[in-house]
Amino acid sequence: MAWALVAAHSVAWNSALFFALPAVHVYGFILTSSYYVCLSLPIRQRTAVRVVAVFGGASLLSSLLWVMLCVFWSKIIGDAAGLPGSALIDHQWIILLFVAAVLLYLVSLLAHDVFIAFDNIRSAERHQIASQLQARDAELQMLRSQINPHFLFNSLNSISALTSINAAAARDMAIELGSFYRKTLALSEQTQISLGEEVELCQYFLAIEKIRFGEKLQVNWAIDPATLTAQVPAMFMQPLIENAIKHGICNLSDGGVIQIKSIVENSWLHIAISNPVDPESPSAIGTATGLKNFKARIHTLYQERARISWYKAHNNFYLDIIIPFEPVMTGSRND
């Protein structure tokens, strides 16, 4: 703008710059109002008439205001410089500045509109992530508060029955039950724990069930030591083992062996659980509601990075789980 004034009207550089710098900076502040104009007309409420009226009106009014300020400012500088007509700009310059100001304001409206659109997208993504986290936390809290009540009732009934025939076994079962719930409460505030802690919790659970079922219940652990530091969802194996007992061991007169295996392959944690089933028992198949809920929970935590599958073969039920292998950081927890 200063160069054009010097070239067109032979204005001194100091006067041209003294006019142009404040004028441009003032219009820069005026342009920021386009952000609020865009906010005042959300995309959902826009029609062609509203867009023309609001955006066109804002462009014309802001440009007119700025040109009036430029005219006033040019007269002040013109009087101080002793220019003929007491102004740096003439009518042609006024029209040129007005047209340029309108175009710049429209560009600013477009730029702020794009910025607001991206900001809304980011905000929607943040809300979606927050909603997913809230849903996940609610689901985990529900799962923690719904440790099968039948397990507790059965354990208490077994303790009651054992007190009259085997007081030592009743005492041992009460101790194991207390240890199990103590461990459960210790892990209740965490969404992620190490596989080693999860295995320890399951061992407390199985110790109680072992007293109930005796030799009918056998467990074969094949846990790779390298997997014990893996980060896993809190209390995700215990319901699976309980399911293996409920739909497998309970229905077999001779009981059976629950196989639990974990390995690491190519940065993936593989967990496999299998148990014998009675193919003639209706409960051997079940509705798979618990497994479907478990799969939904794992999908919420890992999205497409997890694989859950189950099938029956040769009077055995097999469950395979594959999730990313993420070691628990020493001295920190994922709460």
Phi, psi (degrees; rounded to nearest 5) at 54: -75, -55
Higher pLDDT, 185 or 230: 230
Burial call 117-145: b when 16+ CB within 10 Å, e when fewer? eeeeeeeeeeeeeeeeeeeeeeebeebee
Predicted local distance difference test score (pLDDT) of residue 319: 94
Predicted local distance difference test score (pLDDT) of residue 286: 55
Higher pLDDT, 179 or 185: 179
Q: Tell me: the pLDDT tens digits for 54-85?
A: 888 999 999 899 889 988 888 887 777 666 55
Question: What does the domain layout of the chain look like in residue ranges?
Answer: 2-136, 146-324
Positive or negative CA dihedral for 70, 72, 77, 81? Answer: positive
Positive or negative CA dihedral for 211, 213, 214, 218? Answer: negative
Q: How far is CA 293 from CA 183, 203, 312, in A?
A: 23, 23, 19
Greatest mean pLDDT among 170-184, 186-200, 264-278: 264-278
- Beta-ladder partners of 264: 269
Higher pLDDT, 225 or 181: 225
Q: Can you list the pairs that 133-137 forms with residues at least 24 positions away whose Cβ atoms lie under 8 Å? A: 135/300, 136/191, 136/297, 136/300, 136/301, 137/191
* CATH architecture type of domain 146-324: 2-Layer Sandwich (3.30)
Structure tokens of 196? 């080693």
Phi, psi (degrees; rounded to nearest 5) at 283: -75, -5
Predicted local distance difference test score (pLDDT) of residue 79: 76
Predicted local distance difference test score (pLDDT) of residue 228: 94
217 pLDDT higher than 50: yes
Average pLDDT value for residue range 117-131: 84
330 pLDDT higher than 70: no
Phi, psi (degrees; rounded to nearest 5) at 76: -65, -45
Q: Tell me: the pLDDT tens digits for 8-62?
A: 766 678 877 888 888 888 998 888 888 888 888 888 888 888 888 888 899 999 9
